[in-house]
Amino acid sequence: MSIETVEELCAQLIRFDTTNLGGGSSEGEREAAEFVASHLSAAGLAPTLMERSPRRSNVIARVAGSDPSLAPLLVHAHLDVVPADAAEWTVPPFAGEIRDGFVWGRGAVDMKDMCATLLAVLHRWSSEGRGPRRDIVLAFVADEEDTGAWGAHWLVEEHRSLFDGCVAAIGESGGYTVRASSAAGEPVRLYPVATAERGTAHMRLTATGRAGHGSRRNDDNAVVKLLAALQRLTAHEWPVVLTPTVRAFFERTGAALGIEVDLADVDGTLRRFGAAAKIAENTVRNSTTPTVLSAGYKVNVIPGVAHAEVDTRLLPGTEDAFLAEVDRLLGPDVRREFVAHQRAVQAPVDAEWFTAMAAAIEAEDPGSVVVPFCMGGGTDAKAFAGLGIDCYGFAPLWLPENFDHRLMAHGVDERVPVDGLRFGANVLDRFLSTT
């Protein structure tokens, strides 16, 4: 097998349409998994394909380290992607084109870029006769973009022995360039590494009432009850909660920027942080965002039931108090249930793993500053954290000026810089071979 460059590997992975349609339905994961497995074999490994159901494929492999006394490290990445409407894109989303210094296509930054950098590192080790100090367990998984029930969560529930001994893990998303300005107006390159994730508590709300004719008075209208409850919920301002990760972010970012940090005025501090504020602005509070409404079938019929779904994200250590407040806001007329419920993730900031990640980035980008942050959403780390593994978001990527990483994942014209991929491979190589 000829060994491609990291950008070619990324482009080839994008060409596999691994769209995850949700509800157990996906496309192309098997072909992408076979591609990954073939490259792992070419690098001298013995990969295994594992499926909960046909074509929902996961690839597991183990890289032997030189020091068996060291605990293994888990590296996980997902092969599936969210849907893309080709009519909205400048280039076909699954063409995997390399142009203008970028690799274009769905999954370019979420997260076939890291899949490609991992494969590039493994090929480099094989060709140069090198390897890691500790064993590394590799998991290229399915279904991250839905529930993980065909991917990480299934592997943890049914094949947890694959991860025996693993004490830490890296996966998406963190280690990418954020360009900010100091108090003196000097450019500062920050690299946020995720040491926490907000929990997921997606809720379905149900209000019931008396069905009837739309022209008649009805004081037991399910739609009215639901709307009133949603208004109370969305109007509520959730309090600031400074978790250990978020507190460390403020302290270290403030020091890097030369900006005074006032933890009694978090919102004011974020405004002074400028471009760096986007790293933490969504993780100083819990959030409740209504996303789905459903009721009725005809304009002149008052329905007896009305539903809403709310995307709810919870900071570590806040769930019990948060749910009690939600129940108070909803009131007695609305019932809630979980559509998805996964606990928040919190790993140590002051740990050898974070120090090693920071050192690897700073070696490749001298003068940069690595800071911890909490992810606003969630990843497969939620599955692996359940095994007692300390999970970090670390998928290193160099980003140029005026490149908004946030708009790429799940967005139109998703793309990743070629130079960023090469940087990522070099950082991963340093981290994985020396830690």
For 132-173, the pLDDT digits (tens) are: 999 999 999 999 999 999 999 999 999 999 999 999 999 998
Rounded to 5 degrees, φ, ψ at 404 are -90, 100
Rounded to 5 degrees, φ, ψ at 360 are -65, -40
Q: Which residue, 320, 342, 364, sits at the end of a domain?
A: 342
Alpha-carbon span 55 to 62, nearest angstrom: 22
Same domain as 330, residue 244: yes
Domain of residue 114, CATH code: 3.40.630.10
pLDDT exceeds cutoff 80 at 349? yes
Query: Tell me, what DSSP letter sits at residue 107?
Result: T
Q: What is the mean pLDDT of the chain?
A: 96
Q: Which residue, 322, 342, 362, sits at the end of a domain?
A: 342
Same domain as 159, residue 50: yes
Same domain as 287, residue 385: no
In a domain, 45, yes or no: yes
Q: Which residue, 284, 315, 342, sits at the end of a domain?
A: 342
Domains of the chain: total? 2
Q: Which domain holds residue 116?
A: 6-173+379-434
Give the model confidence (pLDDT) of 221-241 as tens digits: 999 999 999 999 999 999 999
In a domain, 361, yes or no: no
Q: What is the mean pLDDT of residues 319-340?
A: 96
In a domain, 158, yes or no: yes
**Type of residue at 427:** V
Query: Tell me, what DSSP letter sits at residue 271?
Result: H
Same domain as 116, residue 227: no
Same domain as 212, residue 134: no
In a domain, 180, yes or no: no
Task: Provide the whole-model pTM.
Answer: 0.94
- Kindly indicate the confidence band of residue 28, based on its pLDDT and cuts at 50, 70 and 90: confident
Alpha-carbon span 149 to 164, nearest angstrom: 20
Cβ atoms of 191 and 370 within 8 Å: the answer is: yes
Same domain as 201, residue 163: no
pLDDT exceeding 70 applies to what percent of the chain?
Answer: 99
Query: If residue 83 lies in a helix (H) or strand (E), which one and from where to where?
Result: none
Same domain as 405, residue 307: no
Closest CA to 426 of 369, 366, 364: 364
Same domain as 135, residue 24: yes
Rounded to 5 degrees, φ, ψ at 39 are -75, -35
How much is the pLDDT for 405? 85
Same domain as 109, residue 60: yes
Same domain as 161, residue 17: yes
Q: How far is CA 304 from CA 78, 214, 317, 394, 434, in A?
A: 42, 12, 37, 48, 63
How much is the pLDDT for 90? 96
Alpha-carbon span 316 to 339, nearest angstrom: 19
> Mutual orientation of helices 29-42 and 112-128 as an angle, nearest 10°?
20
Q: Is the dihedral of CA 272, 274, 276, 279 positive or negative?
A: positive
Rounded to 5 degrees, φ, ψ at 226 are -65, -45
- Kindly indicate the confidence band of residue 83, based on its pLDDT and cuts at 50, 70 and 90: very high
In a domain, 267, yes or no: yes
Same domain as 214, residue 138: no
Closest CA to 424 of 359, 375, 352, 360: 360
In a domain, 155, yes or no: yes
pLDDT exceeds cutoff 70 at 273? yes
In a domain, 360, yes or no: no
For residue 4 the two structure tokens come to 């491609």
> Mutual orientation of helices 352-364 and 418-434 as an angle, nearest 10°?
140
pLDDT exceeds cutoff 90 at 377? no
Q: How far is CA 200 from the centre of its chain?
A: 12
- Kindly indicate the confidence band of residue 26, based on its pLDDT and cuts at 50, 70 and 90: confident
Closest CA to 405 of 110, 24, 59, 4: 110
In a domain, 369, yes or no: no
Cβ atoms of 24 and 148 within 8 Å: the answer is: no
Domain of residue 290, CATH code: 3.30.70.360
Same domain as 93, residue 41: yes
Cβ atoms of 315 and 374 within 8 Å: the answer is: yes
